[in-house]
C-alpha cells in the first residue's frame, strides 16, 4: 500500500483530532486565547527513539508518552491543559500501520488529558523518530507556580510513587536484571507500564496553585530535580528516604535488591510532582491531594545551606546517593 503524502496524513489521521481554532488543520496556523482572567502557559519537550523510548515500544504508548511528559510540566506549573502542536520527524522506514497506531494512542491521550490538537508538522528525517510537542495550558493570571521560589522551612512533598519508571526501564531493556526473576509478573508489568505511560498529575494543579510555594515535575530523577529546585539561593534540603513514596511493586523490588535504592531516587521518567509547601499549609495541602485522588507524601524540609540535598535513613544516618540527574541529552 502506498504511503500517503503529508496532506494525505493530515486528512486521514490528524484532522479528526483537530480542536476548535485549528480550522480542521487545513490552514497553516491555529488561533487560541486564554479563558478570561487567565495566562497561557507554554512548554515544549521532545522524545527521541532509542533515547527516551525503545523503537519497538507500542506506537500508541509512544504517543501517550510524548503527550504525558509535556502535560506533566503543565500540571506542575498549576496549569489546566488546553492544546498541543505536534512535530513528527519520521524515519525513512515508517509504516502506515505504525502511524495509525501512534495516532490512535495520540487521540486517546488528547482526550484523557483534555487537550486539542492545534497544529504541527510532519517531516522525514534519515534517523530516529523525533516527536516534539509544544503543550499549552492556562492558569489564572499571575498564578503560575514557579520552580525556584521555595523558602527555607518549607516542607518538601512528592506525589504518587517514585522510581517505578526507572525500574520499568531496566525490565524493558535488553538484559532484564537478576532481581526480576523473583518478581511477580504483575509487579513487573506495573513497573513497565509506568515507564511507558506517564501519569501527569493534572488533578493536583489547582492544589499546587493554592498551596505550593514552588513546584516542578520529576522527570530526571527525584535527587537531581530537587537539586534544581533549591540550588543557587542558599537553600538545601533534608530528605528522609523512608518517606519517599514507593509503589508496592517498587517496594517488592527493593526488598529483593536493596542496592536499587539509588536508582529509585535518581532514575528518571517519574513524571510526579515535587513541591515545596509552607508548614502552615501542609495539612490542608495533603488532605486536598488525597481528596483529589493523588496523594502527596511529605519527604523532608528545605534547609539553609549551599550543598546538595542530604538524604538520610529513618534513624538519621546520612546516605550518599549522589546528586546525579538522569540526562536524556
Query: What is the binding site for its own copies (CB under 8 A)?
Result: 5-7, 23, 26-34, 38-48, 50-52, 73-74, 76-77, 79, 85-87, 89, 91, 118-128, 130, 132, 134, 136-137, 139, 141, 144, 146-148, 216-217, 228, 327-329
CB of 59: closest distance to its own copies in angstroms? 18
Residue among 2 and 126 whose Cβ is closer to its own copies: 126
CB of 9: closest distance to its own copies in angstroms? 8
How many CB atoms sit inside 10 A of residue 281's CB? 16
In the DSSP assignment, the letter for residue 230 is H
Measure Cα distances from 273 to 74, 81, 139, 198, 215 in Å: 11, 16, 17, 12, 7
Q: What are the residues whose beta carbons fall under 8 Å from the beta carbon of 8, sequence distance 6 or more?
A: none
Residue among 28 and 280 whose Cβ is closer to its own copies: 28
CB of 193: closest distance to its own copies in angstroms? 24
Residue among 144 and 297 whose Cβ is closer to its own copies: 144
CB of 283: closest distance to its own copies in angstroms? 27
CB of 46: closest distance to its own copies in angstroms? 5
Nearest to 312 by CA among 225, 242, 235: 242
Residue among 124 and 319 whose Cβ is closer to its own copies: 124
d(CA 263, CA 329): 18
Residue among 164 and 225 whose Cβ is closer to its own copies: 225
d(CA 138, CA 79): 5
CB 113 within 8 A of CB 51: no
Residue among 60 and 132 whose Cβ is closer to its own copies: 132
CB of 127: closest distance to its own copies in angstroms? 1
Strand order in the sheet with 296-304: 212-218, 272-277, 155-159, 296-304, 235-240, 310-312, 318-319
Amino acid at each position: 500500500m502506498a504511503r500517503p503524502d503529508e496532506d494525505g496524513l493530515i486528512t486521514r489521521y490528524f484532522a479528526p483530532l483537530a480542536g476548535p481554532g485549528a480550522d480542521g488543520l487545513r490552514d497553516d496556523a491555529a488561533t487560541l486565547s486564554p479563558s478570561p482572567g487567565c495566562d497561557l502557559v507554554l512548554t515544549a519537550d521532545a522524545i527521541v527513539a532509542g533515547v527516551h523510548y525503545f523503537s519497538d515500544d507500542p506506537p500508541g504508548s509512544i504517543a501517550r508518552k510524548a503527550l504525558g511528559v509535556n502535560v506533566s510540566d503543565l500540571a506542575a506549573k498549576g496549569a489546566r491543559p488546553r492544546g498541543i502542536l505536534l512535530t513528527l520527524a519520521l524515519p525513512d522506514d515508517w509504516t502506515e500501520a505504525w502511524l495509525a497506531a501512534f495516532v490512535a494512542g495520540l487521540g486517546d491521550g488528547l482526550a484523557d488529558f483534555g487537550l486539542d490538537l492545534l497544529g504541527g508538522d510532519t517531516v522525514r528525517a534519515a534517523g530516529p523518530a523525533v516527536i516534539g510537542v509544544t503543550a499549552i495550558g492556562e492558569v489564572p493570571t499571575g498564578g503560575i507556580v514557579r520552580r525556584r521560589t521555595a523558602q527555607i522551612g518549607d516542607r518538601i512533598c512528592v506525589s504518587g510513587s517514585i522510581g517505578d519508571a526507572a525500574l520499568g526501564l531496566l525490565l524493558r531493556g535488553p538484559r532484564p536484571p537478576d532481581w526480576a526473576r523473583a518478581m511477580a509478573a504483575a509487579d513487573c508489568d506495573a513497573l513497565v507500564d509506568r515507564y511507558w505511560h506517564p501519569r501527569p498529575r493534572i488533578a493536583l494543579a489547582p492544589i499546587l496553585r493554592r498551596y505550593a510555594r514552588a513546584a516542578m515535575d520529576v522527570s530526571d530523577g527525584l535527587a537531581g530535580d530537587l537539586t534544581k529546585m533549591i540550588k543557587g539561593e542558599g537553600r538545601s534540603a533534608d530528605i528522609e528516604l523512608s518517606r519517599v513514596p514507593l509503589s508496592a511493586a517498587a517496594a517488592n523490588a527493593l526488598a529483593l535488591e536493596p542496592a536499587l535504592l539509588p536508582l529509585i531516587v535518581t532514575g528518571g521518567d517519574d513524571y510526579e510532582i515535587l513541591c515545596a509547601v509552607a508548614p502552615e499549609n501542609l495539612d490542608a495541602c495533603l488532605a486536598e491531594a488525597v481528596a483529589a485522588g493523588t496523594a502527596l507524601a511529605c519527604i523532608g524540609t528545605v534547609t539553609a545551606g549551599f550543598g546538595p540535598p542530604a538524604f538520610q535513613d529513618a534513624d538519621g544516618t546520612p546516605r550518599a546517593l549522589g546528586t546525579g540527574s538522569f540526562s536524556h541529552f
